[in-house]
Chains A and B, each alone.
Chain A
Amino acid sequence: MGRTIVVTAGKGGVGKTTITANLGASLSKLGRKVVLVDMDIGLRNLDVVMGLENRIVYNIMDIAEGRCKINQALVRDKRQSGLFLLPASQVHTKEDVDIDSIVSIISAIENSFDYVLLDSPAGIEKGFESAVAPSKEGLVVVTPDVSSVRDADRVIGLLENRGILGLSLVVNRYDVDLVNRKKMLNADSIVEILGLDLVGIVPEDKAVIDSTNRGEILVNYYANTIAARAFENVARRIEGENVPFVSLNSQNKGFMKFFRRGK
């Protein structure tokens, strides 16, 4: 049975969708069979980030409401044959979702994939609940600012209450310059506050937006950028590999402290 992981944050716009797509593509490059589920019902985005918006026929609400079979709704990635998208509906709202039927759809899918990644919407309301209910593990995304860290803390508490104890942390949009000028929190203090297993630090990188605008996943398109390598390292750490954190800046020795703790 596959691992079902919710990618979540509490705060909006911190990179949940970007990370879902890039982590999915990286896991698929490592030979895993992966499905990405867009749980942002009514505000779908993952299809655009993957450049698959024109290939969507059915979506998860069509499955939930009996209009199609699961296989009919899955869209295969343009480049990775082991990567699939299960799109969200754009014409429904999060209130229309019956969480129990989402849970049963995901548990049916789990059997045929190594990874099911659920891209959670912003907030902690019903959309968050629908993404969390089927999940067994969670990847929490933060940006290096106080409000993002506080929202993440709240979300981690809610995930723990729901019995989701396998939780990891990704720090996204990390800007070493701003951290050095103390305009951003450094990774050490974020980990100290949240107390989660850090599986990645992804730098701020213009290539992310550039590839998204081209309808390409960064790790598929600009695989040599620093952000792409950081995404691939997240995948390898989630796979259990002990990938050391390379210093983004030689001045900042703090990075060398982070190694993935064994599960």
Chain B
Amino acid sequence: MEKPAIFKGSKEGIVLVVNPESPFNEVIDFLNKTFEERKLFFSGASVILNPNGRLIAEEELGEMADVFARYGLSFKIMGEEKVYGKEVIASRDLNEEKVALIPHTIRSGQAINFDGSIVVLGDINEGAEINVSKSVYVFGIIRGIVNAGESVVSLGFQPLRMTIGKKQLGKELSDKTYRKPRIAKIENGEVVFKVVGEKQSLRRRE
């Protein structure tokens, strides 16, 4: 075994086998690199950690939990019940759109990067950061940083910074904090906040 770790498929889920010989920081680097490159493959998967004879110290477990959490993932140690990291409960292709569900508040220091759309059941707190290629649907309040390719739907907007497409909302956001459900999207090159479910009028606009 040359690599610091390998992922293997099994009927219980994806098994992460670590190399008992590799320095721990190499294991961490490997995880970061693999998750970054293959986000979608892992999202929604339950990973089982096979220590492969390696003694994993408590603080190393904590460090691994943080890497998993950064990608919305979680793991269990083989034969144990405790869940480390964070859970994306499902990720599906809906009409070609990849959607991941994150069933919790995203807190300060946590980041989610996803190629597709995400649904967050909770808030996006100050100090958290979301980067998605399509849309974000938040069943909670946005207080942190959100960068979305297409649109942002949320029960409340109080973001520190928000980008939709290439358009960054800076200062003007401070007047545009909403405590009501809104959809933020680009219309005619500008970010607009619309009432969710608002009907399109037949009337022609300027």
Binding site for B on A (CB under 8 A): 99-100, 103, 126, 129-130, 132-133, 150-151, 153-154, 156-158, 160-163, 193, 195
Distance from A234 Cβ to chain B, minimum over Cβ atoms (Å):
23
CA distance A238 to B90 in the complex (A): 34
Beyond A157-B108, A163-B82, is A132–B126 a contact (Cβ under 8 Å)?
no
**Bound complex: CA A160 to CA B107 (Å):** 10
Instruction: Report the nearest B residue to A10, measured CB to CB.
Output: B108
Rounded to whole angstroms, the CA-CA distance of A195 and B83 in the bound complex is 21
CB neighbours (8 Å) of A129 from chain B are 58-59, 62
Residue count of chain B within 8 Å CB distance of chain A:
26
A residues less than 8 Å from B109 (CB atoms): 153-154, 157-158
Give bound CA distance, A40 to B153, whole Å.
Answer: 44
**CB-CB < 8 A to B135: which residues of A?**
none
Given A100-B58, A133-B58, A154-B109, A160:B127 Cβ within 8 A: no
How many A-B pairs with Cβ below 8 Å? 65
A sample of 29 cross-chain residue pairs with beta-carbon separation below 8 angstroms, ordered by A number, consists of A99-B58, A100-B58, A126-B59, A129-B62, A132-B62, A133-B58, A133-B62, A150-B108, A150-B127, A153-B108, A154-B108, A154-B109, A157-B69, A157-B109, A158-B62, A160-B69, A160-B86, A160-B104, A161-B62, A161-B69, A161-B85, A162-B61, A162-B62, A163-B82, A163-B84, A193-B123, A193-B125, A193-B126, A195-B123
Complex alpha-carbon distance, A154 and B85, angstroms: 14
Closest to A132 in B: B62
Given A133-B59, A154-B107, A154-B109: A161 and B65 within 8 A (CB)?
A: yes
Determine how close the nearest CB of chain A comes to the CB of B72; give it in whole angstroms.
11
